[in-house]
């Protein structure tokens, strides 16, 4: 263990410094918090600022720590305690692994003695967090559990069918069972919590999960003191995947750049990165937390996506960035996967990172605070330098019409190309893309859903003979653009 390197990192989600053991209760809270969250290391003999001061009477301190941790934290926890000498100064390291809990201070009891790690501080865990820790031990989840006596008739079957039909898929009761949207409760078939959150009728969602929704706001300046625009998205969390990008487009800037005989739009924020972060927020939000919603906030200098629920027990932000994945809501995540809205588990951060780097955007920042997780995106430098007002375009074209139709210049180019019947590969090559999944999500799926292009063999979406062609509605759009 490189103590010098650790002392230079600063305190955080998995690291804490203590000058000595005078405040033993604080150390015990950190031990239990690390065990309940993602593990961690406590360095004793290090100042808050990282200065190594060392401790004396090593044997006494080791015995004190071992006895206190063993006697005052339940269930029994056995951390690794070691001593390292650095320039004649002794530093004690207490290494705690994440383990099935919840771990709590025995004198406070489970109800008031469970702590979790949030950033560089320890927080008392609420009942919903304690319940999640217990569920994670049994590999179960909140969204798999039956939702009282809500039945299949309480689901919006028209919404379910239309969403799946738009992606060329059929859906029936047996498939809803396999997805976990429905489950058995005794002899009865009932909806799961995840099923209600995704597809419940409006009055059912409002009754059981009034906070399972997405809200958006555009603020003036860099604080929340004054609204410019706001949107409470109706229709459930899936509707947000289409509605949030519309809200962002009308409240952010767009630069136009010409090169290679083709115009390229530069959105203020990375479209694909934000879409990925949004679907991640929907998939990983803790819907058991009351009073907290998924929230998109746009300021003059940043865009934030916030969801209720910190990282899963046993997970840290560093592990998330490294590709480690634990799924909080397997029913919701599996459904998003079936609808091709998310890809393989554990690749979310990499896709967001790629979208930012390839587009020339600053990398976003993740942080846990309170009982929420927030990712912050920063604007493209070229858009900032041009300095237009939100909701405006920074280069001449038919943008007012295109924005009204919720399209962009690249989509118009693809629509023009599809005046002739085109294969998926031909469209991919024409637009200069390599990633088939991202291309489908960025262009093909939205244009199909809007009825602007259509499949020549709609009943067989994956046919090798499949071609895509502009519809009458698509021709009307092209004509409208040309007339402006």
**Complete DSSP assignment for 345-398:** TT-HHHHHHHHHHHHTPPPPEEEEETTEEEEEE---HHHHHH-PPTT-BSS-SS
| Same domain flag for 241 and 381 | yes
Question: Which pLDDT band, with edges at 50, 70 and 90, does 397 fall under?
Answer: very low
pLDDT value at residue 396: 42
Alpha carbon distance 354, 435 (integer Å): 12
| Same domain flag for 223 and 368 | yes
Structural domain includes residue 475: yes
Domain that holds residue 167: 142-208
Q: Over range 168-195, report the average pLDDT.
A: 90
Question: Which pLDDT band, with edges at 50, 70 and 90, does 424 fall under?
Answer: very high
Q: Over range 441-459, report the average pLDDT.
A: 89
Structural domain includes residue 392: no
Structural domain includes residue 471: yes
pLDDT value at residue 278: 95
- Mean pLDDT (the chain) is 87
pLDDT value at residue 455: 94
Structural domain includes residue 193: yes
Question: Which pLDDT band, with edges at 50, 70 and 90, does 388 fall under?
Answer: low
Structural domain includes residue 357: yes
Last residue of some domain: 63, 91, 125?
Answer: 125
Indicate which CATH number applies to the domain containing 271. 3.30.565.60
Q: Which of 21-35, 231-245, 324-338, 394-408 has the lowest mean pLDDT?
A: 394-408
Residue-wise pLDDT for 354-381, tens only, equals 999 988 999 999 998 878 899 999 999 8
Nearest to 266 by CA among 394, 446, 387: 394
Nearest to 288 by CA among 274, 307, 269: 307
| Same domain flag for 184 and 203 | yes
Residue-wise pLDDT for 262-284, tens only, equals 556 788 999 889 999 999 999 99
CA distances from 324 to 290, 312, 330 (A): 27, 11, 15
Residue-wise pLDDT for 279-311, tens only, equals 999 999 999 887 789 999 999 999 999 999 988
Q: Which two tokens stand for residue 97?
A: 């692994």
* Number of folded domains that form the chain: 4
């Amino acid at each position: 263990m490189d103590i010098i390197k650790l002392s230079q990192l600063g305190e955080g989600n998995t690291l804490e410094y203590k000058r000595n053991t005078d405040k033993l209760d604080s150390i015990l809270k950190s031990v239990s918090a690390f065990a309940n969250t993602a593990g961690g290391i406590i360095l004793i003999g290090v100042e808050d600022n990282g200065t190594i001061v060392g401790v004396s009477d090593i044997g006494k301190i080791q015995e004190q720590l071992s006895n206190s941790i063993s006697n005052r934290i339940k269930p029994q926890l056995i951390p690794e305690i070691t001593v390292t000498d650095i320039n004649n100064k002794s530093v004690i390291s207490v290494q705690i692994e994440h383990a099935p809990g919840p771990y709590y201070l025995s004198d406070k009891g489970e109800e008031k003695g469970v702590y979790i790690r949030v950033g560089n501080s320890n927080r008392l865990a609420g009942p919903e967090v304690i319940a999640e820790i217990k569920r994670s031990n049994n590999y179960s989840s909140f969204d798999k559990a039956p939702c009282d006596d809500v039945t299949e008739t309480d689901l919006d079957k028209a919404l379910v069918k239309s969403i799946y039909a738009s992606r060329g898929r059929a859906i029936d009761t047996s498939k809803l069972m396999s997805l976990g949207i429905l489950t058995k409760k005794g002899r009865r078939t009932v909806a799961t919590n995840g099923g209600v959150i995704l597809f419940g009728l409006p009055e059912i969602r409002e009754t059981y999960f009034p906070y399972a929704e997405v809200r958006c706001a555009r603020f003036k300046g860099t604080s929340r003191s004054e609204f410019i625009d706001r949107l409470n998205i109706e229709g459930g969390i899936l509707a947000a995947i289409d509605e949030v990008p519309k809200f962002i487009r009308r409240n952010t800037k767009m630069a136009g750049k010409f090169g290679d005989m083709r115009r390229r739009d530069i959105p203020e924020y990375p479209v694909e990165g934000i879409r990925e972060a949004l679907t991640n927020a929907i998939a990983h939000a803790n819907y058991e937390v009351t009073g907290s919603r998924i929230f998109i906030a746009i300021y003059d200098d940043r865009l934030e996506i916030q969801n209720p629920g910190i990282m899963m027990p046993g997970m840290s932000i560093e592990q998330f960035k490294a590709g480690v994945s634990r799924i909080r809501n397997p029913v919701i995540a599996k459904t998003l996967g079936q609808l091709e809205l998310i890809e393989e588990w554990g690749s979310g951060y990499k896709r967001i990172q790629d979208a930012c780097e390839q587009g020339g955007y600053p990398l976003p920042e993740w942080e846990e605070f309170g009982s929420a997780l927030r990712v912050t995106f920063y604007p493209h430098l070229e858009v900032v330098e041009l300095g237009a007002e939100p909701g405006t375009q920074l280069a001449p074209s038919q943008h007012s019409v295109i924005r009204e139709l919720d399209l962009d210049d690249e989509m118009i180019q693809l629509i023009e190309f599809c005046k002739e019947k085109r294969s998926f590969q031909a469209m991919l090559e024409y637009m200069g893309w390599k990633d088939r999944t991202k291309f489908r999500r960025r262009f093909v799926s939205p244009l199909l859903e809007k009825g602007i292009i259509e499949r020549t063999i709609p009943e067989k979406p994956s046919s090798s003979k499949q071609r895509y062609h502009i519809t009458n509605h698509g021709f009307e759009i092209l004509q409208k653009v040309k007339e402006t």
